[in-house]
A and B are shown apart, each in its own frame.
Chain A
């Protein structure tokens, strides 16, 4: 078990460091970073001063050491837009994204497990057909399009929900639903496939032969095994959820890290982009470790390896 967790943590750690390296060199390989860091209309004087101040005139290796030192101290430079530490902006935006993603992820997992399990119970039945089609449509729908269509129908035409912004429950409905579409769609298919496997397994036959009731067969014996594959894909789905959050936050004007990132890209505020990448990568690194721990808790076969 320790071996498994250690290896996984090592791999995630390498990925995290690799990503930080990639961001650092991507900026420098493409030429003069001042062009990236400064607004397009900055004067030559500003550029020279900026380069000096940030050490862009020094050799790349030296820059990298300084960069590492800064990163380890949580210093990722100043936002060019807001004249505040970039890290501060990112950490301010994070709770919004975490709340949005957390609610969407929890709801999609719960709903997908129920729908997927019931669909797998009678493959080819009405529920399976409808559920599978709905999940496919969810996984296929362009989220930005669903978002603006939703605004058009429920906010502009029917006036049931607000068009954008944050606030109490009505503000959450459209963003959550849009954000849930893809993870829900994909998760239903994963749950359905693994439940199908579990329900036709020999241990489910044994459980039935023991006289275990159908509810317990589905939700205890089969689902416990199928939950392993749900945990396996949960990491990938969360990563995908951040993609969705970028879109949803932009369309609904939520002050989350996705919107911050897009705004920073469009306004060429590279320190903020870099800080957002860094924090996101670290969050995913921690999440991966959490998922591995959960996996170990759920699968005794790995625990005793």
Chain B
């Protein structure tokens, strides 16, 4: 069967995104979990800030699974007797804030540079692309280590470093899309009508690349989160008394043989968040790909 024929058969009326999300259990759970984390991000420190810093000597290294010392101790207590659950919720703000700021910064900076590289002359485009090469050809963790070594490991510096390491992806995607779209008729038409370059970029090109960039954004959210927690784990990311999940794992590592839950739960929190990001991004990619979309619309294997 020719591809044209197959497309004619398969690309038909579409279900709405919302209906598709409800149909895919994994994606739905992932989305709900991220919403839940976002709530922790918004309200966590205000609601549980006190509980996270209260020392309870009787709950020192208390194992999880018991509510003897209150339900907040369900995941156990740390070396100072603080509630691990409360600390996880409070740490969600820093962890998510860093990851979200870094990816948005990377996306905006990358998209702008990509548009410049793709839309304006070849010279500046080459300079920008070689800059992306440098960033991509060197391990991001090592890059971050060196930069944070020279600068100081503050939250803004951490965000900037992480954003810079992720920037090339957005830059390349945007540039490639802009180059392609630029050749298409509608932009030529717009140019003929006398629109300014800025206007063309904003009105014609941005809407087309936005879905692609958002899909990458969800993957990058996971990647950046892993990078931040790795750096914090190594002791060159977030510095105490600030906390993130990565730092909690690092601190818990010292008590590994006596109280495994100190390091286990923060790591699990990272894993669930990054997994959700990855699942959602995979789902987004399939939904926005017309050739794949039927897989989500298909009722499942009972047909096979």
Contact = CB atoms under 8 A, between A and B. Distances in A.
Nearest to A141: B271
A242 interface: yes
B146 A26 contact: yes
B130 A144 contact: no
Give the interface size class of chain B: 35 or more
A274 to B, nearest CB: 9
Given A12-B137, A247-B233, A280-B138, A123 B295 contact: yes
A140 B278 contact: yes
A152 B257 contact: yes
B118 to A, nearest CB: 17
A215 B26 CA distance: 32
Contacts of B147: 26
A261 interface: yes
A15 interface: yes
A281 interface: yes
A133 B235 CA distance: 31
B258 to A, nearest CB: 10
Given A148-B253, A265-B149, A15 B271 contact: no
Nearest to A14: B130
B137 to A, nearest CB: 5
B271 A250 contact: no
Contacts of A12: 133, 137
B301 A124 contact: yes
B136 A239 contact: yes
A80 interface: no
Contacts of B140: 239-240, 243
Contacts of A104: none
Nearest to B301: A124
Contact of A11 (B133, B234, B277): B133
A184 to B, nearest CB: 14
Contact of B134 (A18, A141, A242, A270): A18
24 contacts: A11-B133, A14-B130, A15-B133, A16-B137, A18-B131, A36-B150, A123-B295, A124-B298, A124-B300, A124-B301, A124-B304, A140-B271, A142-B229, A144-B230, A144-B234, A145-B263, A145-B266, A148-B253, A202-B3, A266-B235, A277-B146, A280-B142, A284-B137, A288-B137
Interface of B: 3, 26, 129-131, 133-134, 136-142, 145-147, 149-151, 222, 226-227, 229-230, 233-236, 246, 249, 253, 256-257, 260, 263-264, 266-268, 270-271, 274-275, 277-279, 282, 295, 298, 300-301, 304
Interface of A: 11-12, 14-16, 18-19, 22-23, 26-27, 30, 36, 123-125, 133, 136-137, 139-146, 148-149, 151-152, 156, 189, 202, 236, 239-240, 242-243, 246-247, 250, 261-262, 265-266, 268, 270, 273, 276-277, 280-281, 284-285, 288
